[in-house]
Amino acid sequence: MILLLLAPIAAGLFCLASASRAAWERLNLGAFGIVAVLTIRIALHVSARGPVSAFDGFIRADALSALVLLLTGLVSLACAIYAVGYFRREETAGRVSCVQLRRYYVLTPLFVCAMLLAPIVDNLGVMWLAIEAATLASVLLVTFYNKKASLEAGWKYIIIGSIGVSLALFGTVFVYYAAVGLPGTETRGGMNWSVLMTAADKLNPQAMRLAFILALLGYGTKAGLAPMHTWKPDAYAEAPVPAAALLGAAFINCAIYAIMRFDTLAEKCLGHDFSGHLLAEFGVGSILLAAPFVIVQRNFRRLLAYSSIDHAGIMVAGLGFGGKFGVLGAALHMLFHAVTKPLLFFCAGNVQQRFSTPYFRKVRGVIHALPCTAALFFMVTLAVTGLPPFGIFQSEFNVLSGALAAHDDCMASLFVIGIVAIFAGFLIHVSNLCLGAPARPSPILTESPWQLTAMAFVSLGILGLAFWIPGWLYHLVGQSAQILGGNP
Amino acid sequence: MNTDALSSAIASQLVMLFAALMLVLQLLLVAQQMLLVAVRLYALQSLMLTAIAGVVAYYYNAPHVYIVAVLTLAGKVVFLPWLLNRIVRDIKIHKEVEPLLNAATSTLICLGLAVLGFIVARPFTTLERLGSNTLAIAVTLLLTGFFLMFNRRKAITQVLALLTVENGIMLAAIALTSYGMPLVVEIGIFFDVLVAVMVLGILVYRIRESFDSVDTAKLTRLKG
């Protein structure tokens, strides 16, 4: 476990020290390879034998933490492989300099390290710190290209993010306050989930209510729930593609994870209704807000951001509907979304690199110019909008069942309307993009082998999980759902 | 009255006094347009926070709060103001342009926010251990900090606003629990603020280079 956190930090520091591109690439790939293997091992262990802890309880991983950890590890490996090909192309095209490249290879491991720390620390103050550290590391990735637009995106990201993060900290302080005076809370472990969960029904309800609202607003900003989502389209569109994929597929899970932890506390203290209603409203609100923006979108990088707002909404809504299906849907959705999303970013990145524009109207007939990318783009569009047999269909179906089981018919129908609208919008945009005659005939430029490897890696995951979930993974998801349901 | 109750009452009064001064400084900050003066006001406000931490550490025998006090003194009273001063001098902008709302209106709005803060904090005042209104002041600092952020357009002032929000949260942490949060969290938050300001500083320099201005109202390209 120590190695898990040390590997990325060491890679970052060595990248700072070394001076050649090959060394940076190797260090990053090596570190993320180690991280991926370790996260799989931890996930297997937790799935078979239950929670693990280290450092006198400072670090504690139960099924939910292990799931988030596993997804972060795999996504960052895929992004690291893709990044090699992506940045070689960018360098050839003269869009990035050596200094910028080094900045990417130094900051990314630190970003990932913070994201790995967030789900496994038991102390909710330290979890807040890890999420904030991840934000700070990613701000400089968002402003990577140093253009006016990327600076604007970065500024918006850090200011809105900081407002959110201070609300989340205030929420954390209130949880701590709610527990003051209870046995066991005045010691070092007073801010630990495991301690708070055992005493949750004795927490001060008024403080807990305020704490939950603040935490939902705060971490909701990070996850990109409407109406705190405004930084997201800018940041996703301006960041270099591998960094955007990390933000969109891994960082979002950390934020949702924090909301989930606060929700389990609040549910145990206040009952399901209070937090459940809030979560369902924010979730369905995000889906409905994302839908029109998806339909009228002109920029495919921003389209991905709205898709990610939509998926954050689905996870939170599942959590809000609760019940057996709702929480299972939320946990499953976290898994499938993280597996599917990187490919969408990679495809969009290839198209943008090839045509040097992120606008739909300037790009036609990708299938002639980049056949592999176009085919995968089409497949991943179907997967991400929730068409069977892909995994996201299963998880969305579970969330919907959760809504119906909770007799929340109005929310259920709004949920379906939003999902269908987003499906239609996505399909129209991507088919226009991929099919049709190219605007001007151009020689076929082969995709970089590194980029293709990363894409093949992710597609295997998507297709594999669509038909067969390994027993241990399903067990892990099931256990996570139980934790979310309040029975650890 | 025995000595314990007496010292507790004195501590409570002292904390209350310093917290009230923090609020006054915040209101001055809202009305202030000179950036260097605003930075000094922030330093003073942090000094008040240090004093509160010192009082709490002394009266409640919480040695780890001394560490918090020292860190606050070194970081927020000395280092951050120095850094912000340097940035202000480097970018050669000393005066905030006319804010969205003028000083009088802003002050009135902030008074309104203060009333709101006191209403929000009311259900908790009976449970609070230190000074009856500390939490209300913390909430008010948070709200006025957000207001300051929306009302001003210079990047530096937005950073200052963020820092006052953070001061408010630390005040709440001390006021609500009377011994602060676990040390690892306090130290973490402290370094986090330092790094955040450095990152913001880097961005300010770059915005200055690219846009030839630090007016965030000019950041309007990204929409939809």
Task: Nearest chain B residue to A143 by CA: give it.
Answer: B203
DSSP string computed for A178-236 = HTTTSTTSSSGGGGBHHHHHHTGGGS-HHHHHHHHHHHHHHHHHHHT-TTS-THHHHHH
Indicate if the pLDDT at residue A317 is higher than 90.
Answer: yes
Contact A207 B124 (CB under 8 A): yes
Do the domain assignments include residue B221? no
What's residue A488's pLDDT?
55
Give B92: exposed, middle or buried? Use CB within 10 Å, 0-12, 13-18, 19+: exposed
Tell which wins on pLDDT, B85 or A366. B85
Task: Nearest chain B residue to A166 by CA: give it.
Answer: B166
pLDDT tens for A129-149 read 999 999 999 998 998 888 888
Sign of CA dihedral B196, B199, B200, B201: positive
Task: Give CA angle at B201 (A250, A252), nearest 5°.
Answer: 10
Indicate if the pLDDT at residue B148 is higher than 90.
Answer: no
Q: Which residues 318-337 of A are in CB contact (within 8 Å) with B?
A: none
Residues 6+ apart with CB under 8 A from A121: A58, A59, A60, A127, A130
Indicate if the pLDDT at residue B193 is higher than 90.
Answer: no
- At A391, list the tokens: 């995994």
Residues 6+ apart with CB under 8 A from A396: A314, A329, A333, A386, A419
> What pTM was estimated for this model as a whole?
0.91
Indicate if the pLDDT at residue A437 is higher than 60.
Answer: yes
Q: How far is A126 from chain B (nearest CA, A)?
A: 6
Which residue shows structure tokens 């293997």? A37
Tell which wins on pLDDT, B29 or A186. B29
Min mean pLDDT across A7-11, A185-189, B82-86 is at: A185-189
Q: What is the mean predicted confidence (pLDDT) over A276-281? A: 91
Which residues in chain B are closer than 8 Å to A221, comparing Cβ atoms? Answer: none
Which residues in chain B are closer than 8 Å to A176, comparing Cβ atoms? Answer: 173, 176-177, 181
Nearest residue to A302 via CA among A149, A448, A164:
A149
pLDDT tens for A149-177 read 888 888 889 889 888 988 999 888 888 88
Q: What is the mean predicted confidence (pLDDT) over A345-353? A: 90
Q: What is the mean predicted confidence (pLDDT) over A337-355? A: 90
Contact A149 B182 (CB under 8 A): no
Which residues in chain B are closer than 8 Å to A297, comparing Cβ atoms? Answer: 224
Contact A159 B158 (CB under 8 A): yes
- At A335, list the tokens: 């898994």
What's residue B11's pLDDT?
79
Q: Using CB atoms, which residue from A147, A154, A293 is nearest to B203?
A: A154
Residues 6+ apart with CB under 8 A from B113: B140, B143, B144, B147
Cα atoms in the 13 Å half-sphere on the side-chain side of A179: 29
Domain that holds residue A40: 2-484
Chain A to chain B Cβ contacts (< 8 Å):
114
Number of domains in chain B: 1
Q: Using CB atoms, which residue from B124, B203, B216 is nearest to A143?
A: B203
Compute the mean pLDDT over every residue in chain A, rounded to the nearest whole number: 86
Indicate if the pLDDT at residue A182 is higher than 80.
Answer: no
Contact A151 B158 (CB under 8 A): no
What's residue B172's pLDDT?
84
Task: Give CA angle at A64 (A291, B187), nearest 5°.
Answer: 95
Q: What is the mean predicted confidence (pLDDT) over A240-247? A: 93
Contact B181 A139 (CB under 8 A): no
Distance CA B74, CA B78 (A): 5
Q: What is the mean predicted confidence (pLDDT) over A294-321? A: 91
Q: Using CB atoms, which residue from A143, A153, A170 is nearest to B206?
A: A143
Contact A140 B155 (CB under 8 A): no
Task: Give CA angle at A363 (A361, A367), nearest 5°.
Answer: 140
A209–B contact, CB cutoff 8 A? no
pLDDT tens for A364-412 read 878 888 888 888 998 999 999 988 888 899 899 999 999 998 888 889 9
Q: Using CB atoms, which residue from B169, B172, B206 is nearest to A151?
A: B206
In this structure, the number of other CB atoms found within 10 A of the CB of residue A344 comes to 26
| Amino acid letter for position A330 | A
Selected for mutation to probe chain B from A111, A131, A144, A162 (highest B CB count within 10 Å) is A162
The answer to whether the beta carbons of residues A445 and A438 sit under 8 Å apart is: no
Long-range contacts of A93-99 (CB under 8 A, 24+ apart): A93/A353, A93/A356, A95/A145, A96/A144, A96/A145, A98/A21
**C-alpha distances out from residue B17 to B23, B24, B55, B133, Å:** 10, 11, 11, 10
**C-alpha distances out from residue A89 to A28, A104, A354, A417, Å:** 18, 15, 10, 40
The answer to whether the beta carbons of residues A118 and A151 sit under 8 Å apart is: no
- At A326, list the tokens: 């709702």
Residues 6+ apart with CB under 8 A from A26: none
What's residue B214's pLDDT?
65
The answer to whether the beta carbons of residues A229 and B224 sit under 8 Å apart is: no
Task: Nearest chain B residue to A188 by CA: give it.
Answer: B182
What's residue B1's pLDDT?
44
A158–B contact, CB cutoff 8 A? yes
Q: Would you place residue B202 in the very low, low, confident or very high pLDDT band (cuts 50, 70, 90)?
A: confident
Which residue shows structure tokens 């009452």? B9
Partnered with residue A54 across adjacent β-strands are A59
Cis preceding-peptide flag for B81 (omega within 30 of 0): no
Domain that holds residue B64: 3-216
The answer to whether the beta carbons of residues A394 and A275 sit under 8 Å apart is: no
Which residues in chain A are closer than 8 Å to B146, comparing Cβ atoms? Answer: 163
What's residue A74's pLDDT?
93
A142–B contact, CB cutoff 8 A? no
What's residue B135's pLDDT?
83
Which residues in chain B are closer than 8 Å to A215, comparing Cβ atoms? Answer: none
Helix%, strand%, coil% for chain A, nearest 5: 80, 0, 15
Distance CA A81, CA A308 (A): 22
Do the domain assignments include residue B58? yes
Compute the mean pLDDT over every residue in chain B, rounded to the nearest whole number: 81
Min mean pLDDT across A70-84, A395-409, A443-457, A458-472 is at: A443-457
Nearest residue to A145 via CA among A10, A284, A238, A218:
A238
Number of domains in chain A: 1
What's residue A219's pLDDT?
94
Task: Nearest chain A residue to B222 by CA: give it.
Answer: A234
Contact B196 A146 (CB under 8 A): no
Tell which wins on pLDDT, A310 or B103. A310
